[in-house]
Structure 1
Amino acid sequence: MNRIARPLPSDTAPPGLVRMRVIATGLLVLMAALFFVARAFEPAHPGLGYLRSFAEAAMVGGLADWFAVTALFRHPLGLPIPHTAIVPRNKDRIGTTLASFLRANFLTPAVVARRMRRVDIAAAIGKFLAAPPERGRLWRGASRLIADVLESLDQERLGGMVKGALAGRLREINAAPTLGRALKAAMKEDRHVPLLDAGIRWANALLERNEALIRSMVHERSGSILRWTGLDETIANKIIDALDRLLGEMADDPGHPLRLKIEDSLAELAFDLQHDPEMRDRVFRLKAEMLDNPAIERWWMSMWEQMRRGLIGLVRDPNDALAGQFGEALRQLGETLQHDDKLRATINRFVRRAAVGIAADYGDGIVRLVSETVRGWDARTITDRLENAVGRDLQYIRVNGTLVGGLVGLVIHTVDVAL
């Protein structure tokens, strides 16, 4: 016949609490034994009066503290004595008081801001990234959980949500002034020169690849006399040579007039991007057309899927990922966070503002959750949990009460004998 196993209670007493209960109760029993032994032999040995007084007072102190400790959590000996079983009778008030304590001392924006100023989150993150701890069971379990969550999500829906949020943000950005300032700054520091050189080289390569096309166009547009005399070929050669020489001179001479003209046009474009309303509107319309282009949407979804798959691979095998370039980048980021005071201050300020915002927006909800959770516990549950949390220290009170009571009884007996 199969036996049904009974589940163990979730709040069994920890070994430390059980051991202290045994010690406190054993000490009380020892004092009782000493009292009766000393009382029995005291007529023959008057000196045992000191031991009897010590043991008697120790029993009184131990019993009083046992009653006080027990009365917190239950009725002593099961007797419904008034003002006992304090915790079960007041569990709802305890929950409300605990929630109010959390709200007043931990979840107000001012308190959170003051405490967060003393916490260097960025430095802790930097230390973790620069020298990650050994990846144990918790790390592997978290990796599997994250990977399973990512794989279970609807990739099209999630990708669409992310794309929609990103596209909405991009639509709101006025890109023209930013592009204009970037172009102006690049030209001021001559960072546009490599791009201009690359454009000239690209034009030269394009000319070389399309010489036959140029010759064909000149031949088709020439009259019959030019074609009959062969001058069309001469004209095509001169055009190609002139363009090739022009591009070569532009590449070799930074002060070439045509090159300077291009730079003037770029400077004018940078100014128009920042100050010309018509140019800003053209950039805004071009940006909107790009965002509405189905090709851009397909590109974004493919990029999102690659990112998602890469992230899944990372969390499923973090050791391999952290051993490569990605891991090196994380370690460099950790070093930077530890030594870059400005970046660390920026991150800490962001975290502090986020924490203050959470406290302001959700503090009442957290308090209500704590209060309702405690109210939902039955009296036995809250009693066991509180007793397991502080019961070991309360048993020390019983031990101290026994010993202190004994010493007080010994002092009183000594004074009584002396007088």
Structure 2
Amino acid sequence: MTAGATRPGVTAPISPFPALAEERLRALRRMKLIAGGLLVLAAVVYVVSRIVGDGNGVWGYVQAAAEASMVGGLADWFAVTALFRHPLRLPIPHTAIIPEKKDQIGEGLAGFVHQYFLTTEIVSERVAAAQVPARVGQWLAEPAHAHRLAEELSSAIGGLATVLRDDELRNSVAAFADKRLRELDIAPLLARLIDAACDAGQHQAALTTFLRGARKFLENNRAEFRQRVAQESPEWVPEWLDDRVFNKGFSLLQSFIADVIDDDSHGLRRGFDTQLRELAERLRSDPEQIAKVEAARDQLLDHPRIREYLANLWDAMKTLLLREADNPGSDLRRSAESLTMRAGEVLRDDAGIAGKVDEALQRLVGHVVTHYAQDITDVITTTIERWDSEETSRRLELQVGRDLQFIRINGTVVGSLAGLAIYAITRAF
């Protein structure tokens, strides 16, 4: 089987760097030709020395060097070839080491990686040296990167929306919103809102607005009120008396409302403030008042219009989200870019925050290494086990075979020198 062939039924992997793989294959073939050429040259020299020479003098040295060169070259050819296949296709024991021991090699490699690479100390040291928070912060702080990240986020939102099942999400969102609203302690929340409004004086402003509206309403409907007084007044009462009584009472009411509007310390205002604060206190401590508010909350949530609104909440949210994500100038995109840049600046410039993030990252990596290192190294073992034996041998030979050919070259050259030295020493003694 040739170097580029694969066994039937085994799909050869597609190299992610085809140009690099072809270059390595050419380099491997070139080095094999050089190593083989030296061995052939040694054989030719040996044959010539045997034919032409008589084994004495210079020819003896040449013959000894050529003979030892052939032995060294053949021995190293056998050793290098035995790593990847059976030499001359003969099933010699302890040859084709890589194909025969593929699984054991995978287990050994996984164990080596586990023992010397995937340790908490080594990984934590490398994570600390990498300065991940600072580098990530520097990248995120760049406006172009923040803009790109916002675009990717928008694209992800759009893509996610197309694969989600609206019916299921519509029911889930409605059920979730209803559940959360029913679980909400609304009475204490209303109490806090009342306290906040009173502390800010907003309740008095609201009262003033209401009184001004009431005064205007009374003035605009004066005739209507006068007519109602006439209808309720006995027939024997003169009309001029009705007019006088009505005008006096109406004026007194308008004057009272004006006094309350103009006087910030009016008794009615103080009473209004006291009643609101008492209501807030009852909302916090009175079980009966709390029960009434919760019953009103549940009754409101059971209203058909509210149920319809909750049912359509997901559709409204999805429409708004997609519109904002699709618009380059939307508040969502601008907020995403701004938050990204701000987060990057914090990671880059705040040593305290960066230190905490780095510490958390190291703890996370340490946890992963401690609990999942075996699973990680199992990837090596299982991957190599799935490889075809001959394909594995071919891959490894493609990676390191060129350098191994230098062993053959060195064996041929060193063998000739060793043979020459041994022959010379033998002749000398």
Partner residue, 2:278: 268
Partner residue, 2:80: 65
Residue 254 of structure 2 corresponds to residue 240 of structure 1: yes
Partner SS, residue 132 of structure 1: helix
Pairing 1:240-319 to 2, within 5 Å after superposition: 240-250=254-264, 255-314=265-324, 317=326
Partner residue, 1:205: 213
TM-score (norm: length of structure 1) = 0.65
Partner residue, 1:127: 140
Q: Deviations over 1:220-264 (max 9, x none)?
A: 2463438542131332233123213312333xxxx4444344333
Residue 175 of structure 2 corresponds to residue 177 of structure 1: no
Pick aligned residue for 2:399 from 389, 393, 400: 393
Residue 177 of structure 2 corresponds to residue 166 of structure 1: yes
Q: 8 Å contact 1:65–1:397 — kept in the other structure?
A: no
Q: 8 Å contact 1:21–1:395 — kept in the other structure?
A: no
Partner residue, 1:3: none
> Once the 2 structures are TM-superposed, how far is the Cα of residue 338 of structure 1 from its aligned partner?
2.9
Partner SS, residue 277 of structure 2: helix
1:328/1:17 Cα in 2 relative to 1: closer, same or farther (>3 Å)?
A: same
1:296/1:18 Cα in 2 relative to 1: closer, same or farther (>3 Å)?
A: same
Partner residue, 1:36: 40
The root-mean-square deviation of aligned C-alpha atoms, in Å, is 5.7
Residues in 1 aligned to 2:87 and 2:411: alpha-carbon distance in whole angstroms = 21
Unmatched tracts of structure 2, length 5 or more: 1-9, 50-57
Partner SS, residue 263 of structure 2: helix
Residues in 2 aligned to 1:135 and 1:174: alpha-carbon distance in whole angstroms = 42
1:39/1:397 Cα in 2 relative to 1: closer, same or farther (>3 Å)?
A: closer
Pick aligned residue for 1:11 from 7, 13, 17: 13
Q: Deviations over 1:9-32 (max 9, x none)?
A: 561344423432332332132122
1:57/1:386 Cα in 2 relative to 1: closer, same or farther (>3 Å)?
A: closer
Residues in 2 aligned to 1:159 and 1:384: alpha-carbon distance in whole angstroms = 52
Pairing 1:103-118 to 2, within 5 Å after superposition: none
Deviates more, 1:257-266 or 1:40-49: 40-49
Partner residue, 2:336: 330
Residues in 2 aligned to 1:209 and 1:77: alpha-carbon distance in whole angstroms = 112
Read off the aligned partner of 2:306 and give its amino acid letter: I
> Once the 2 structures are TM-superposed, how far is the Cα of residue 53 of structure 1 from its aligned partner?
6.3
1:80/1:413 Cα in 2 relative to 1: closer, same or farther (>3 Å)?
A: closer
Partner residue, 2:25: 21
1:334/1:374 Cα in 2 relative to 1: closer, same or farther (>3 Å)?
A: same
Residues in 2 aligned to 1:40 and 1:372: alpha-carbon distance in whole angstroms = 47
Q: 8 Å contact 2:137–2:345 — kept in the other structure?
A: no
Residues in 1 aligned to 2:206 and 2:254: alpha-carbon distance in whole angstroms = 20
Q: 8 Å contact 2:73–2:415 — kept in the other structure?
A: yes
Q: 8 Å contact 2:42–2:67 — kept in the other structure?
A: yes
Partner SS, residue 323 of structure 1: coil
Partner residue, 1:4: none
Partner residue, 2:201: 193
Q: 8 Å contact 2:12–2:391 — kept in the other structure?
A: no
How many aligned residue pairs are there? Answer: 386
Residues in 1 aligned to 2:178 and 2:275: alpha-carbon distance in whole angstroms = 31
Q: 8 Å contact 1:122–1:337 — kept in the other structure?
A: no
Residues in 2 aligned to 1:212 and 1:331: alpha-carbon distance in whole angstroms = 54
Residues in 1 aligned to 2:291 and 2:353: alpha-carbon distance in whole angstroms = 39
> Once the 2 structures are TM-superposed, how far is the Cα of residue 337 of structure 1 from its aligned partner?
2.0
> Once the 2 structures are TM-superposed, how far is the Cα of residue 86 of structure 1 from its aligned partner?
5.3
Read off the aligned partner of 1:11 and give its amino acid letter: P
Q: Deviations over 1:324-343 (max 9, x none)?
A: 33222112212332345799
Residues in 2 aligned to 1:15 and 1:384: alpha-carbon distance in whole angstroms = 19
Read off the aligned partner of 1:201 and give its amino acid letter: T
Q: 8 Å contact 1:126–1:337 — kept in the other structure?
A: no
Read off the aligned partner of 1:37 and give its amino acid letter: L
Give the percent of matched residue pairs that are identical in Structure 1 and Structure 2. Answer: 18
Q: 8 Å contact 2:78–2:87 — kept in the other structure?
A: no
Residues in 1 aligned to 2:135 and 2:206: alpha-carbon distance in whole angstroms = 41
Partner residue, 1:220: 228
1:35/1:154 Cα in 2 relative to 1: closer, same or farther (>3 Å)?
A: closer
Residues in 2 aligned to 1:258 and 1:181: alpha-carbon distance in whole angstroms = 23
1:146/1:25 Cα in 2 relative to 1: closer, same or farther (>3 Å)?
A: same
> Once the 2 structures are TM-superposed, how far is the Cα of residue 162 of structure 1 from its aligned partner?
1.4
